[in-house]
Amino acid sequence: MQRVFPFFLEAAWITVLLSVLTTILGLIFGAIGASARMSRFALFRFLGAAYVSVFRGTPALIQLFILYFGGPQIGIQLDAFQAAVIGLGINAGAYMAETMRGAIIAIDKGQIEAARTVGLSRFQTMRYVVLPQAMRLMIRPLGVNINAMIKATALVAAISVVELTYTAQRFIGSTYKPFEMFLIAGVLYMIIIYITGQAVSWLDRKARIN
């Protein structure tokens, strides 16, 4: 037991790193996707809707496989970790785009009309009226997306990134103690998810006070 523990801690660090990088990338892709879906131009709206529909409509595992194993055929050479971050980030972005769009359309239309009447441009209305309120609304649902995404980082074990699930699988194979290995990895996942949940709640409270 003591012998395997350091390996699990190191793997947990990789899971944390993956989660943080994927969250950042997911937020960027989510913002782009949400903007495209609400664009004035039909082409952007179509592209945004296609992005969300395709990446939410197919398994994340297959998306990772296309990028990592199929990438070299179309000139994309990535190592497993890079493919993991990019693949999971694009996938998470599709879910986050819907969350962000939901928060933005929840803002009362009357406010937008009022802002426009007062003389603000479309962009200014978004920047000073809609987004400050929508940001507050999206913190909690984005937290739900991030929670699901942390668990989805386990998928990259299948392209042999040495994170928590890969490590658990390896030690299940060598120690024949599936339940113990599951518990160690499981507790570490729950600690990561718990801390993330606390951070999201803290942000949410802070946003409410302002």
Partner 1 sequence: MGLDFTVIPQYLDIVLWGALWTILITLGAATVSFIGGMFLAVIALYAPLLVRLPFRAFAFLFMGTPLLLQLFLIYFGLVQVGIDVPAVMAGIIGLGLHFAVYNSELFQTGILAVDKGQVEAARTVGLSRMQALRKVVVPQAVRDVIPPIGNNMISLLKDSALVSVIGVSELTLSAQRAIGSTYRPFEFYVLVAVIYYIINLFMEAVQRRVERRVQASR
Mark 178-203 as b/e (b = at least 16 C-beta within 10 Å).
eeebeebbeebbeebbeebbeebeeb
Nearest C-alpha neighbor of 53 from the set 95, 102, 84, 104: 95
17 or 158: CB nearest partner 1: 158
d(CA 170, CA 161): 12
20 or 31: CB nearest partner 1: 20
145 or 165: CB nearest partner 1: 165
Smallest distance from partner 1 to CB 26, Å: 17
Residue 97, judged by CB atoms within 10 A of its CB (0-12, 13-18, 19+), counts as: buried
Smallest distance from partner 1 to CB 106, Å: 19
125 or 196: CB nearest partner 1: 196
Contact residues for 175 (Cβ-Cβ < 8 A; gap 6+): 4, 181
Smallest distance from partner 1 to CB 78, Å: 13
Contact residues for 75 (Cβ-Cβ < 8 A; gap 6+): none
Residues that bind partner 1 (CB under 8 A): 54, 57-63, 65-66, 69-74, 151-155, 157-158, 164-165, 168-169, 172, 176-179, 182, 185-186, 189-190, 193
Smallest distance from partner 1 to CB 53, Å: 8
